Amino acid sequence: MNIRIEELTFEPMISYETIAQRTIEIGNTLAEKYKGNTPVFVGVLNGSFMFMADLVKQVPIPLHVAFMKLSSYHGGLATTRTITEDFNLKVDIQGRDVILVEDIVDTGNTLRYLVDKLKSLNPASITVCALLYKPDAMEHNIPELEYVGFEIENKFVVGYGLDYKELGRNYKDIYQLVK
């Protein structure tokens, strides 16, 4: 069933059941990789909040949770390429393994900025886990991007934390813009 947000129509793309299954798989892999450590999961707000919550529930090892808030879309359908930092990291990550949790990686501009910023804080390691990845939109080489839920076409999407004009985050499925 299609949904309407403001003037735009979106059609189903990825069901919550499919997202949940992939999140379990990623969580199991992360739990195995970081067994014996206490990693810091850093969610990038606002978009990652649903994925982050579901992901950490699947990682049954000691871990810390923190958030940062960055944006580059500012309500539109495309990135403005201007990165705004609204909420900085409030935990010391020096010498710690960091798993950066993103909702979506498209151009990679925000992610490159964020990885470089976190590296300056001297963590032991940084690994990026993104729910969605648009390889056709990518403009940067980001070797830290190790875990991807789903590779998708370069289409605008909403739901499961992703928004259009701050609306649509509450849908449990992911929807793509109907052209």
Query: Could you list the active site residues?
Result: 106
CB burial of 62-75 (b: ≥16 within 10 Å; e: otherwise) equals ebeeebbbbbbbee
**Inter-residue contact 59 to 65 (CB < 8 Å):** no
Element (H, E) at 130: strand 125-133
Q: How far apart are CA 106 and CA 76, in angstroms?
A: 14
